Amino acid sequence: MNHIPFDSSLHWPLYKKVKKPLLVIQINLQKTKLASTILLKAAKQHQPDLFLVQEPHVKDGKIAGIPKCWKSWLSKSGKAGIIALPTCSTPVVLSAKENTIAIKITKNSKAFTIISSYSSPYDNYR
CATH topology of domain 24-117: Deoxyribonuclease I; Chain A (3.60.10)
- Structural domain boundaries in the chain: 24-117
SS3 at position 88: coil
Q: What is the pLDDT of residue 93?
A: 97
Show Cβ contacts of residue 78 under 8 Å, excluding neighbours closer than 6 positions: 56, 58, 61
List the chain pLDDT tens, one digit each, 126 residues. 455 555 555 555 554 555 788 999 999 999 888 888 888 999 999 999 999 999 999 999 999 999 999 999 999 999 999 999 998 878 999 999 999 999 999 988 889 999 999 998 877 655
**pTM for this one?**
0.81
